[in-house]
Structure 1
Amino acid sequence: MSSLVLIIGYLILTNIIGFALMGIDKRRARKNAFRIPEATLFSIAIIGGSLGSILGMLIFRHKTRHWYFMLGLPLILLIQILLVAVLFWLPISFSFI
């Protein structure tokens, strides 16, 4: 299995987890149950699940009143995109075998 397939699989999985955590936390908020810590929600976004977290935030309308989520999650996504672009344009060759 190539490294590129593993990276894509990892990103798909982390985005699904980020999306699901937003939905689970929203449901728990409505039931006044034990909540998922905000640090966990941000951690999932930082390790690659930012797009799924943003989609979950918007679809479930969860954490949309918190400015640090409304600005923080898109900022994390932008930094991740810029990081990938910089790695792509660097004169270093990566081989995914």
Structure 2
Amino acid sequence: MEEAESRFRDAGIDVRFIERDNPLADEGAVSLLTMHNSKGLEFESVFILEDNEQKTPVPDWIRSNKKALIEYERKNKHLQYVAQSRARDQLFILVV
């Protein structure tokens, strides 16, 4: 998140972080939040930044446990759905 914030600020774009207890950002600012914090919120446009290698890091102990890995992947798919369904009008998925 810090790298994204830095890039927006370098381009002269105001950035605000959104937290669960304060879901509104200033008008005209880019709102940055985690997928977990997006649940229940809605925005005109949503940009999702994804890592080209892997969407979310998988701890080694989950990787070595097939049942845990299946559950982890199920939860990750649900989290992706939550993030993608926050867009009212436009959804952009950027792979970096």
- TM-score, scaled to structure 1: 0.33
From the two aligned structures, give the one with the greater strand fraction. 2
From the two aligned structures, give the one with the greater helix fraction. 1
- TM-score, scaled to structure 2: 0.33
